Structure 1
């Protein structure tokens, strides 16, 4: 099993959800996140008011942090490639800030209600 962690633009969550559902993966966790990449924040990346602590102090070309969404999806080993490709296809704009995808190993999973383990716990 693998955990796919995707950091994407908030406005791409609905399209990503639809693409994952179409592949047969309707289950994921979405967490609001803030951060920045090498570019150190992009001026005008978001069209909403941000609290002062999130905005750049005295910089006219960036912000301290940019709102993102962190998606976590646990899939079987054979399902990693199609899920990652779907996430990339939906979120790729070829612009700075498209996000990142990480694939991490999962040793085990347990469904609390039924005590199922392994891939049975994530199906």
Structure 2
């Protein structure tokens, strides 16, 4: 089993949920989050500041600003990882900074609380 964690844009949530369902993943969690990447600067903002727009210059000063995101978490069988990762990437990739990240972690076990089922039975 693997845990797939994806950070995506808020406006991509509906498409991502539908794409994951189409891939065969119906069970996952979504959390509200805030964060930022490695500090990229929007070129339009930079150009606006260079042209003397005060609003653009003020926004450039917000170096530590956090942006709203969504974090999706799904625990899947090893055989599903490639489909899940490719689905998330294909759905969220715009080619612009802020498209998100996908992390894949090993999951040693899962136990369904209601029945006590463990392993793959607990996530299917």
Which TM-score bucket, shorter chain as reference?
A: 0.7 to 0.9
**For structure 1, which runs of at least 5 residues remain unmatched after alignment?**
45-57
Query: Residue 60 of structure 1 corresponds to which residue in structure 2?
Result: 59
Give the superposed CA RMSD. Answer: 2.0
- Normalised by the size of structure 1, how large is the TM-score? 0.83
Q: Distance in 1 between matches of 2:58 and 2:41?
A: 10
Q: Distance in 2 between matches of 1:29 and 1:5?
A: 9
Higher Rg of the two aligned structures: 2
Q: Distance in 1 between matches of 2:12 and 2:104?
A: 20
The alpha-carbon deviation at position 39 of structure 1 amounts to 2.2
Secondary structure of 1:4's match? strand
The list of structure 1 runs, each at least 4 consecutive aligned residues, that deviate by more than 2 angstroms after superposition, is 39-44, 58-63
Q: How many residues are treated as equivalent by the alignment?
A: 110
Q: Between Structure 1 and Structure 2, which shows a larger proportion of helix residues?
A: 2
- Normalised by the size of structure 2, how large is the TM-score? 0.82
1:40-73 per-residue CA deviation (whole Å, 9 max, x = no partner) reads 57699xxxxxxxxxxxxx8522561000000000
Contact 1:41 1:65 in 2 (8 A): no
Secondary structure of 2:114's match? coil
**For structure 2, which runs of at least 5 residues remain unmatched after alignment?**
45-56
Q: Distance in 1 between matches of 2:26 and 2:102?
A: 18
